[in-house]
Structure 1
Amino acid sequence: MSASVTRHVVVVTAVHPPSARFLPDAYKSLCEQRLPQGWEWHWVIQEDGGSEDVLPYVPEDERVTFRQGRRGGPGVARTIALARAKGEYVKVLDADDQLAPGVLARDLAALEADPAIGWVTSRVLDLWPDGSTAGFPGDPPDGPIERGEVLGFWKANDFRAQVHPASLFVRRDLLVALGGWMALPASEDTGLLLALNAVSRGWFSAEVGLLYRKWEGQATGQAPHVDPDERAARMAVAEARALALAEFGWGYPANGVS
């Protein structure tokens, strides 16, 4: 009898020195996940740069791979991390965030059950420094998200998507086909989400899947992130990419199953 083959979920994390101190909390939340028999996770941590400040926070675990590279932003770090491990699915976990109990198994079950679904997102709670949490109003109902819905909501609500890209779980082949994360200084994950929804149906889990840490050093809280000229440019190119993909008519799955 041949030995069973272990299948993997690749968890990708971009990190830079200010966020490295949160890696132990992220690791703890990952270790508390339970996957079905025959499945394992592989955590790939990619530093955006080459400092000496991140490695001390990286756990010693054979399931964890740590690499460094020249700086290019979190999107570049996540995309290059895809070369470090093989797996059918990719889960995003930012260095300063934490997975909620059971989310990996729920995400996996959604995509294993329906080959016409390309990606999954989950309900997200803000995690404040005092340990309190707060949800987002207006989450969609539990279930499928049809093609184009994310872009429509995003345009109607001042460029805010109704699902959170930091909670993304996606088929690796679909992610690679779209080129990974966008080459933007910020909003690279939202750009990817819009592109994914332009070519494939998604799924939203109404159960909490991620604790999104709010802290003084996070990139989204810095002045350049809300500079109006740069923000307008980021939003314009993200929208143009999604519209072009939809116009070209390419879709996932390629055989037209829906």
Structure 2
Amino acid sequence: MISVITPVHSPEPGHLTEAYRSLAAQELPDGWAWEWLVQEDGRTGVAEELLPSDERISHGSGRHGGVAITRNLALSRARGELVKNLDQDDVLMPGVLARDIAAITGNDRVRWTTSRVLDLLPDGELVGFDGDPPHGPLEPGVVLDHWRRNDFRLPVHPTTLCIERDLAVMLGGWMAVPGSDDTGLLIAASVLTPGFFDATVGLHYRKWPGQGSAAGSEHYETVEWNARMKLIDERAAALQSLT
């Protein structure tokens, strides 16, 4: 099984239902199934009201604590060997779950994978990125080195992360910081184990006015940003020292 984790807070109804449709359309390898762990940051019940009845959807809720805590509460309920991130306003591309599964299960060394992303703008335009790495394995240290050399910018998009559940749990799940929690998990995993980058587009990353703080100025406030980057870097260095 692959467990898809979606933290939910004040969702835009059309975006959340589109995320569901993109998941429901996925075709998986024989013997595989998906579950969707929709975890509300709060206890309003809004996600259950918006989404259709589907036995593959598992709803959860908790007190308001932010996206990292919400993702980790969902992780505690995940039954899959693999865990896949999906934000409430993003759209999975056809075949991405099957490609994630193949990348990890087809190589004994690979324990996480990412894929190419296109920004989905409000007018429907799709915008790509320059500088994606080559399609294929990412050896330990490659992601961290790029991040350090390029002003804390990753070579791959952390919101596309698919990771072995055991590895995610060992690393403490999504890092408990206000923003960049997915970066913290990705970098920690990339230090310890090889990963994989799939050059096929796996996600449309929606950019819109109601998007969370990761798209706005608060995310880059200097004092908090520096504190997050320092902590992520220090943890990565500590993990490297163990290898």
TM (normalized to structure 1)?
0.91
Deviation at 1:82, TM superposition (A): 1.6
Report the 3-state secondary structure (helix = DSSP H, G, I; strand = E; otherwise coil) of the residue aligned with 1:179: coil
Distance 1:243 1:19, change over 3 A: farther
* Fraction of identical pairs, as percent: 51
Task: Give the Cα–Cα distance (whole angstroms) in 2 for the partners of residues 92 and 47 of structure 1.
Answer: 15
Distance 1:19 1:248, change over 3 A: farther
Partner of 1:106: 99
In structure 1, runs of 5+ residues without a counterpart are: 1-7, 250-258
Which deviates the most, 163-172 or 70-79? 70-79
The letter of the residue matching 1:195 is A
Aligned pairs for 1:1-258 (under 5 A) are: 8-19=1-12, 21-219=14-212, 220-249=214-243
How many residues end up aligned between the 2 structures? Answer: 242
Report the 3-state secondary structure (helix = DSSP H, G, I; strand = E; otherwise coil) of the residue aligned with 1:17: coil
Which deviates the most, 163-172 or 11-20? 11-20
Kindly provide the CA deviation profile for residues 132-185 of structure 1, in whole angstroms up to 9, marking residues without a partner as x: 101111000000001011111111111110000000111111111111000001
Report the 3-state secondary structure (helix = DSSP H, G, I; strand = E; otherwise coil) of the residue aligned with 2:123: coil
Deviation at 1:19, TM superposition (A): 4.4
Deviation at 1:221, TM superposition (A): 2.4
Kindly provide the CA deviation profile for residues 41-93 of structure 1, in whole angstroms up to 9, marking residues without a partner as x: 00000011112433322221000011110111111111110222311101110
Deviation at 1:21, TM superposition (A): 4.3
The letter of the residue matching 1:111 is I
The letter of the residue matching 2:115 is S
Indicate conservation of the 8 Å contact 1:58/1:66, yes or no: no
Indicate conservation of the 8 Å contact 2:19/2:91, yes or no: yes
Task: Give the Cα–Cα distance (whole angstroms) in 1 for the partners of residues 185 and 229 of structure 2.
Answer: 12
Backbone CA RMSD of aligned residues:
1.1
Report the 3-state secondary structure (helix = DSSP H, G, I; strand = E; otherwise coil) of the residue aligned with 1:248: coil
Distance 1:24 1:240, change over 3 A: same
The letter of the residue matching 2:66 is G
Indicate conservation of the 8 Å contact 2:43/2:62, yes or no: yes
Report the 3-state secondary structure (helix = DSSP H, G, I; strand = E; otherwise coil) of the residue aligned with 1:117: coil
Distance 1:165 1:24, change over 3 A: same
